Each structure stands twice: as C-alpha cells, then as structure tokens.
Amino acid sequence: MSLLETLQVQTLPEKYKSLTQDEMEKRIWEIKKELGAKLFIPCHHYQREEVYQFADAAGDSLQLAQISAKNRDAKYIVFCGVHFMAETADILTSDEQTVILPDMRAGCSMADMADIHQTERAWDMLQQLFGDTILPLTYVNSTAAIKAFVGRNGGATVTSSNAKKMVEWAFTQKERIFFLPDQHLGRNTAYDLGVDLKDMAVWDPIRNELIYECALENIKVILWKGHCSVHEHFTVKNIEFVRKKFPDMQIIVHPECSREVVAHSDLNGSTKYIIETIEKAPAGSEWAIGTEMNLVQRLFKNHPDKKIISLNPVMCPCLTMNRIDLPHLLWSLENIMEGKETNVIKVDEVTASDAVLALERMLQR
C-alpha cells in the first residue's frame, strides 16, 4: 500500500489524464457558472497560468488570509495554493464552509521543516535558558499545529508583507523573539529593524541546539533553521552575473532569499511588493527578479514594455504549488457537483481555536 493510500488521500482518477486542455477548461467554466456564489476559488500568485485564470481572487499569503476571513458566502472554497494556506482558510472560515485542496500533495517544504514536537522541545530548552522573555512568531508558511503553539504562547503569525510591523509589535511584548520556520525572513526583517546580526541565534531542530556568537543574554532573535527550497536557489553569483551582463538592470528579490542575496540586491519585499514595484516601474526599465518562476513569467507576459528576467536563469517553479493543475482542479469541482467532497482540509477544533489567536493578532494589525 502506498503512503497516500495509507493516509486515505484520494489521487486523481485516470480519466482526467486523457482530457484535452480545452475540454477541461470548458467544463471548469461551466461548473463555475452553475455553482455561482456557492463556489470560491482563491489563488496564490505562484499558481500555474492554467489554474490562475479561474481565480475569483488572487493574492499573496496575507491577502489570501484576509480574503478567507471575510468570505462567508461560499459553501465551497477550492484553494489553489499549498496545504498551509488551505489550513489557514479553514481556520478563518465558518463551520458551514468546506475548504478543498485539489491535490493533497501540494505541501510546502519550508512548513515541513518545523514539526510541533521539535518546536515544543525547542521551547522547553529556550524557556530554561531565557525564562519568560520570548515571544514566538511564525511565518504563515507553517502547519496549523505550529500556529496553535504560537497562539497559545501569546504570539502571532506574520507574512512577508507585514513581517516588519509584526516583529516591531513582538518587541513591545517581550525582550526576545523566536521566529519560525524561515530563518531568512526572520533575519532579513530583524536586520532591517536594526538588530545586529551577531545578536541573532539559530535554533537547529535536528541537532537540538542553539547556535550563537554573542553572549547568551544579548540574544534578541532566535531563528528556526528552516528555509524555502525555491528562494534558496538565488545566489550572490547570480547577482554578480546580472550586474556584469546588464549594468542597467535593477535586482528585486523576495525576503525568503538569504541575507547575502538580499544585501546585494537593489530592492526586496513580499510578493505583493514585487508585483506593485514592477507595475509602477517606467516603460523601458530593466528587472532581474528573484522569486518563484510562475510569478516571474506572469510579470514578463503582463509587462511587455519592460525587460524582465529571472535572477536565476535555470530556475523552476515551486514544485508543490505546481501540483495544482487543470486535471486536479476539474476533478475537485466535478466531485462537488456529484456531492462527493474530496481532499477536504479540516483543522481539528482544539488546534484551530489556538491557531486563530495567532492569526487574529496578525489580522488586527
């Protein structure tokens, strides 16, 4: 028995593999029309174009969380994004609404880098070292269990577009922050707020140890040793190459890139910030973009008056975001039409009630 069968995850029936793109698109438009306001399709900016065209709302992680919190009309939310985003949508919507992820394999390698047992273990050790001086913050790119841990301990979620505001708030609550699971977003944000790099420690969840250079009492930020397996592929070498080959080109990257890459770039910011910067840029301007490839390709297509390249020429899209494709989207929708709900994302009540505290502390700011 395969792992997916053991977990009772349903996989795409064979019949969807032989349909043409036109057939699938036509059927999806028909179902959207039939279901009307009962169906809502939120879509992250990193989704494939073939799926993105069906979005009722598109956004970055923060916008999608805000949209989910507001939407009370749709009975079915077919989430085109990754697992943690669908969990967030389930936590923020009512019990009468059903959140569906078209392919259960659409996870996030960064979110998988912090499990709740590792986190509880780390927290116990950090409490022994620092007492009650730490506030946990988690990037929304984390499991519902981690969000619940953060909520229980007075902390909040953050996204790349509000990380500065949330870290500033966290320092009004406690002396130190524990930032999960993306060390790069945590480091880049704290650095921008004036925290010295040497006052930032790293928690290694595999070796169960705190890595630091300064005196223990000077540590201000504890970064979980996690990263995004897409954004880690942008390097300082890529930047040096672009600077040499295209001297007029500006380099803009997502803060999930390493500190070195962000420091060598011209601009950095969330998905929303990158999109808005390119939209506002004058015709003829030149951009090397360090973020997910589906988004870079969309920006390239939507702005023919600007020269746009990927900062890394051999970059591929986020593999898990890419798992949501036309066959899976159609399959989810046809199941709804037949009264069968497949791949439903349901966070248990106890976890959801703690996780919502962390999400609401973010959404209120």
Binding-site residue numbers for iminosuccinate are 44, 61, 139-141, 160, 254-256, 271
61 binds, among ligand 13P, ligand SF4, none (CB under 5 to 8 A by kind): ligand 13P
User: And the tokens for 350?
Assistant: 């106890």
Query: Judged by CB under 6 A, which of 144, 158, 228, 355 binds ligand SF4?
Result: 228
- Cα separation of 164 and 343, whole Å? 35
- Rounded distance, CA 91 to CA 150, Å? 15
Task: Select from ligand 13P, ligand SF4, none the partner in contact with residue 160, using the beta carbon and a kind-dependent cut-off of 5 to 8 Å.
Answer: ligand 13P
Strands 39-40 vs 76-78: parallel, antiparallel or unpaired: parallel
Residues in the chain: 365
Binding residue for ligand SF4 (CB under 6 A) from 86, 108, 166, 357?
108
163 touching ligand 13P, by CB under 6 A: no
Q: In angstroms, what CA-CA distances link 201 with 158, 179, 198?
A: 19, 10, 8
CB of 317 to ligand SF4, least distance (A): 9
Identify any residues that bridge with 309 across adjacent strands, giving them in sequence order: 288
User: Does 159 sit near ligand 13P (CB under 6 A)?
Assistant: yes
CB of 364 to ligand 13P, least distance (A): 18
Q: Which residues are annotated as a binding site?
A: 44, 61, 108, 139-141, 160, 228, 254-256, 271, 318
Q: Does 141 bind ligand 13P (CB under 6 A)?
A: yes
Supply the minimum distance, in Å, between the C-beta of residue 239 and ligand 13P. Answer: 20
Position 229 contacts ligand SF4 (CB under 6 A): yes
Question: How far is the CA of 69 from the CAs of 157, 166, 293, in angstroms?
Answer: 14, 19, 28
Sequence-ordered alpha helix ranges (H) in the chain: 3-6, 21-35, 49-52, 61-70, 83-92, 116-130, 144-152, 163-173, 183-192, 236-245, 259-264, 271-280, 293-302, 326-337, 349-363
Q: What is the 3-state secondary structure (H, E, C) of 274-294?
A: HHHHHHHCCCCCEEEEECCHH
Binding residues for ligand 13P restricted to 46-65, rule: CB under 6 A: 60-61
Backbone angles phi, psi at 133, to 5 degrees: -120, 5
Among 160, 238, 312, 343, which residue sits at the site for ligand 13P (rule: CB under 6 A)?
160
- Using the minimum distance from each CB to ligand 13P, give the nearer residue, 176 or 227: 227
CB 331 within 8 A of CB 16: yes
* Nearest approach, Cβ of residue 340 and ligand SF4 (Å): 27
Binding residues for [4Fe-4S] cluster: 108, 228, 318
Question: Counting contacts by CB under 6 A, is residue 320 touching ligand SF4?
Answer: yes
- One residue of 91, 110, 137, 315 binding ligand SF4 per CB under 6 A: 110
CB of 141 to ligand SF4, least distance (A): 5
* Residue 61 vs 119, nearer CB to ligand 13P: 61
Chain contacts with ligand SF4 (rule: CB under 6 A): 82, 108-110, 141, 228-230, 292, 318, 320-321
